[in-house]
């Protein structure tokens, strides 16, 4: 048994690399949005379209990705996803050479297909490679931590590469794009020569009797799937809008903070998500998903209220990571601190919502996971809606969109997560 597990060390490492890449590529549209806003004179709404394109791809690819996984297995699905991801990042690189906003959006959309496919693969694959149970869950939690590291690095790196924001160009982000393509290429090469278990593919060959029900027969799952979309919108909306808020000119309701400093501030949000996920992994066996989701949703709502009502003239020194990986300070309005602290709350929401939504689904759980991937498109819809509000009435007021979304998550934790369809057979 031990020798078999040792054989999986390398593919496990590759899955960790893909966890990192999912966050790295998914979060590129955040600082890239600052660049295209300057380069093409885009509005807040238009600058958020890269993020929207990335996430809306989930709506198209969620269920097909699940079907693909069952048809061709982990390895082929992962390899295809890596090729698609490499292509998407390559298109974004070409958009810089061509100076084309449309090509940039196309690249973000293609990347979204890849991220959806990878998300469908990496979680069950790590669970399988770990042998399921506590070990499998431990690997997934660790992978999630690496996901947070990738998300932390992106805004700091691109903010540093941007330099003078008034002269920002997509080509400034080329080193970040090359890093992404390099990791994709390395991961493809290693996975191509590795043998890994394929339980889902084996199960797909077994005929399954048709059922009169589906995950959509369960009210708590439907509300939970909506909650996942809302959550991803919250997770992306807070840092995306905060970055635009800080880097916009003071005469245009922004704060006029340098791109490198703003990137460091936003990077701290993702770093706090890393801390929150590690803490959640430790406390997860002691605290119920319902209690955890209730607490973090209510706390995030309180932080949002403090941020919205705070005076932007009142500034404090915030500790952040600098481009040389040292710790320094950036002077920001106190409201920005409250927004960044929300990262501690959003860090554990995905796991809590997922656990509550699939509770009692039994044989319908696998199908439910595919539907979840579709609803991840909320990560593109809600930030775009927030961008429209920011264009109309200002950045501060746009956070009411996030506040309402958090209210829905609180409702789901307290009321909507109850399984009222226990009469449906699930074995």
Domains, the chain, in order of start with CATH, read 2-416 (1.20.1250.20)
φ and ψ of 318, to 5 deg? -110, 130
**What is the model's pLDDT at position 285?**
67
Task: Give the span between the Cα atoms of 230 and 241, in whole angstroms.
Answer: 16
Task: Give the span between the Cα atoms of 201 and 205, in whole angstroms.
Answer: 7
DSSP code at position 153: H
Q: Which 3 state secondary structure label does DSSP give 328? A: strand
**What is the model's pLDDT at position 166?**
65
Q: Which residues are CB-neighbours of 51 under 8 A, at least 6 positions away?
A: 29, 30, 33, 108, 236, 240, 379, 380, 383, 384
410 has pLDDT over 70: yes
Task: Give the span between the Cα atoms of 145 and 65, in whole angstroms.
Answer: 24
Return the percentage of the chain with pLDDT > 70, whole number.
Answer: 87
DSSP code at position 197: -
Q: What is the mean pLDDT of residues 383-406?
A: 94
Q: Which 3 state secondary structure label does DSSP give 338? A: helix
Helix orientation angle between 219-247 and 365-375, rounded to the nearest 10 degrees? 30
239 has pLDDT over 60: yes
Higher pLDDT, 100 or 6: 100
Give pLDDT tens digits for 270-283: 889 889 888 877 77
**What is the model's pLDDT at position 144?**
74
Higher pLDDT, 255 or 322: 255
Task: Output the CA torsion sign for 16, 17, 18, 20.
Answer: positive
**Residue that the structure tokens 């949005």 belong to:** 33
Higher pLDDT, 369 or 107: 107
Q: Among 132-136, 159-163, 224-228, which is the least confidently predicted range?
A: 132-136
Average pLDDT, the chain: 82
Q: Among 82-91, 119-128, 299-308, 326-335, which is the least confidently predicted range?
A: 119-128
Higher pLDDT, 32 or 302: 302
DSSP code at position 325: S
Per-residue pLDDT band at 32 (split at 50, 70, 90): confident
**What is the model's pLDDT at position 403?**
98
**What is the model's pLDDT at position 1?**
41
Cβ-count burial 372-391 (b if 16+ within 10 Å, e if not): bbbbbbbbbbbbbbbbbbbb
59 has pLDDT over 60: yes
CB atoms within 10 A of CB 207: 5
**What is the model's pLDDT at position 207?**
42
209 has pLDDT over 60: no
195 has pLDDT over 80: no
323 has pLDDT over 60: no
**What is the model's pLDDT at position 360?**
83
**What is the model's pLDDT at position 297?**
97
Q: Which 3 state secondary structure label does DSSP give 319? A: strand
**Nearest-CA neighbor of 62 among 212, 232, 188?**
232
138 has pLDDT over 80: no
Give pLDDT tens digits for 223-234: 999 999 999 999
136 has pLDDT over 60: no
Q: Which residues are CB-neighbours of 427 under 8 A, at least 6 positions away?
A: 362, 363
CB atoms within 10 A of CB 90: 17
217 has pLDDT over 80: yes
**What is the model's pLDDT at position 3?**
40
pTM over 0.85: no
DSSP code at position 333: E
Phi-psi region of 174 (alpha: psi -120 to 50; beta: other; left: phi over 0): alpha
DSSP code at position 132: S
């Amino acid at each position: 048994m031990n020798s078999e597990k040792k054989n999986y060390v390398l593919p496990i490492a590759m899955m960790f690399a893909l966890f990192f890449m999912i966050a790295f590529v998914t979060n590129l549209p955040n600082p890239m949005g600052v660049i295209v806003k300057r380069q093409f004179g885009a509005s807040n709404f238009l600058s958020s379209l890269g993020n929207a394109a990335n996430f809306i791809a989930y709506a198209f690819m969620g269920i097909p990705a699940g079907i693909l996984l069952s048809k061709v297995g982990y390895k082929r699905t992962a390899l295809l996803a890596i090729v698609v991801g490499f292509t998407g990042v390559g298109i974004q690189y070409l958009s810089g050479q061509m100076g084309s906003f449309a090509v940039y959006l196309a690249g973000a959309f293609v990347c979204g297909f890849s991220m959806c496919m990878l998300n469908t693969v990496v979680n069950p694959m790590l669970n399988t490679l770990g042998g399921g149970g506590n070990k499998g869950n431990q690997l997934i939690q660790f992978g999630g931590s690496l996901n947070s590291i990738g998300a932390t690095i992106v805004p700091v790196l691109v903010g540093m590469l941007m330099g003078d924001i008034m002269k920002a160009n997509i080509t400034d982000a080329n080193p970040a794009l090359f890093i992404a393509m390099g990791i994709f290429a390395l991961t493809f090469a290693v996975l191509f020569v590795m043998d890994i278990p394929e339980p889902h593919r084996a199960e797909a060959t077994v005929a399954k009797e048709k059922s009169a029900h589906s995950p959509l027969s369960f009210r708590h799952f439907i509300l939970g799937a909506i909650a996942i979309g809302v959550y991803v919108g919250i997770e992306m909306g807070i840092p995306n809008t905060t970055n635009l808020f800080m880097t916009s000119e003071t005469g245009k309701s922004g704060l006029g903070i340098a791109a490198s400093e703003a990137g460091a501030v936003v990077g701290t949000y993702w770093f706090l998500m890393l801390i929150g996920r590690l803490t959640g992994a430790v406390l997860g066996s002691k605290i119920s998903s319902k209690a955890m989701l209730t607490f973090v949703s209510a706390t995030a709502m309180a932080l949002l209220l403090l941020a919205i009502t705070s005076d932007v003239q009142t500034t404090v020194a915030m500790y952040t990571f600098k481009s040389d990986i040292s710790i320094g300070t950036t002077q920001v309005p106190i409201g920005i601190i409250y927004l960044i602290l929300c990262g501690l709350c959003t860090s554990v929401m995905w796991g809590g919502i997922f656990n509550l939504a699939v509770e009692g689904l039994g044989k319908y759980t696998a199908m439910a996971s595919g539907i979840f991937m579709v609803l991840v498109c909320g990560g593109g819809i809600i930030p775009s809606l927030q961008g429209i509000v920011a264009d109309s009435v200002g950045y501060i007021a746009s956070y009411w969109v996030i506040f309402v979304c958090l209210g829905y998550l609180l409702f789901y934790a307290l009321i909507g997560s109850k399984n009222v369809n226990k009469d449906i057979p699930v074995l």
